[in-house]
Amino acid sequence: MPTLGIDLGGTNARAAVVDGQGKILASAKMALTERSPEAVVESIAQAAAEAVSLAGVPVTGCGVGAAGQIPGNSGVLAVAPNLGWRNVPLGALLSARLGMPVRLVNDLAAAAWGEFNAGAGRGAPDVYVAFVGSGVGSCIIANGQLVRGSGGVAGELGHTKVIPGGRRCGCGELGCLEAYCGGHNLIGLTRELLASGRSPVLNELTAGVAERITPLTLERAAEAGDPAAVEIHSRAGKMLGMAISNMITVLNPARLILGGGVLMNCPGLRRAVVEGIQALTSNTAREGLLIAEAELGDDSGLIGAALLG
Ligand SMILES: [Zn+2]
């Protein structure tokens, strides 16, 4: 029986009706014009109603992937920075509004579950998924099960420490991997470099306009040989390569799935990660490891949420 998948971002709610094989039958999207929990629930319900009506089939349950921390199976979004929420019982609110059971999971877990079932992870029971987008996150699937951890926050690769007492991360702590490698921070570091006037190549690439900077701008400046850009870019590649390699050595997955906007759009960083893995994983953990790229793009979270629902 098909289920409903919801991908709740900071600006849109997307809904899809998905069959048991992970195929999207119909989907719809609503912009979040207001971010109060009641208004967001209403936007989700409207997107859901449209998707169900387009699919023309009944659905039996609903899964929601949302950016933020969700303790265990509480259905509560404890911290959701995109929405400015704290301790919102979204699962219960949405279940009452939709009249069906709702399972709430972290957006990355939903995306990983989608890739595991219907994308690059098919056929492998032990999968590690690393996403580098505006933030850095990962998800562990062991023996075909999502590993959530006792507090529901397992897999927080972005907040593993790479430099004790280093740069401040968005989480408030110091020296996290994300503070050096997350897209948001790469843009920040590149803007600082542009403002410092130490990078003529960067100045040329952006015509001095900081708003034009993306992680790919940094990569282009590094490829053009700009020493200051090379320093930031190669540090990010090395740190990501080492952090992911260490997870491979610890977990010994059959498959590593790489995804997220930064890794997908910056081939140089992706190459650095793959080279890091070749050089830094233990030989025994690397045997039989297959490195794959995420296949489902923006739909992975929708599909995974539906399959969890
Ligand atoms: Zn952090």
Cα(90) to ligand 1 centroid in Å equals 25
281 in the same domain as 137: yes
pLDDT at 187 (0 to 100): 97
Residues 279 and 148 in one domain: yes
Helix H segments across the chain? Answer: 37-55, 90-98, 107-118, 178-181, 183-196, 200-206, 215-223, 227-251, 261-265, 267-280, 283-286, 300-308
Instruction: Kindly state whether residues 107 and 160 are assigned to the same domain.
Output: no
Same domain, 201 and 61: no
Which CATH number fits the domain that encloses residue 109?
3.30.420.40
- In one-letter notation, the amino acid at residue 187 is I
Same domain assignment for residues 22 and 72: yes
The DSSP annotation for 143-159 comes to TTEE---TTS-TT-GGG
Number of domains in the chain: 2
**109 with 129, same domain?**
no
Say if residue 62 is in the same domain as residue 129.
no
Do 81 and 169 lie in one domain? The reply is no
The answer to whether residues 81 and 174 belong to one domain is no
Residue with tokens 């897209």: 183
pLDDT, tens digit, 9 for 90 and up, residues 102-119: 999 999 999 999 999 999
Q: How many residues does the chain have?
A: 309
Ligand 1 center from residue 255 Cα (angstroms): 26
- In angstroms, what is the span from residue 134 Cα to ligand 1's centroid? 13
Per-residue pLDDT of the chain (309 residues; tens, 9 = 90+): 899 999 998 889 999 999 999 999 999 999 999 999 999 999 999 999 999 999 999 999 999 999 888 988 889 999 888 899 999 999 999 999 999 999 999 999 999 999 999 999 999 999 999 999 989 999 999 999 999 898 888 999 999 999 999 999 988 999 999 999 999 999 999 999 999 999 999 999 999 999 999 999 999 999 999 999 999 999 999 999 999 999 999 999 999 999 999 999 999 999 999 999 999 999 999 999 999 999 999 999 999 999 998
Question: Are 130 and 99 within one domain?
Answer: no
Distance 161 CA to ligand 1 centre (A): 8
Distance in angstroms (rounded) separating the CA atoms of residues 286 and 157: 19
Range of the domain at 206: 123-293
Give the pLDDT of residue 230.
Answer: 97
CA angle centred on 37, ends 148 and 19, rounded to 5°: 55
For residues 20 and 57, what is the distance between their CA atoms, to the nearest angstrom? 13
Token pair of 3 as six digits: 């289920």
- How many angstroms does the Cα of residue 200 sit away from the middle of ligand 1? 31
Together in a domain, 241 and 304: no
Q: Does one domain contain both 109 and 152?
A: no
pLDDT at site 279? 97
Give residue 179 CA to ligand 1 midpoint distance, Å. Answer: 7
Cα of 288 from ligand 1 centre, angstroms: 32
**Residue 158 CA to ligand 1 centre (angstroms):** 6
Q: What letter does residue 60 receive in the DSSP assignment?
A: -
Give me the pLDDT at residue 151, please.
83
Report CA(157)–ligand 1 centroid distance (Å): 9
Q: Is the dihedral of CA 287, 289, 290, 292 positive or negative?
A: negative
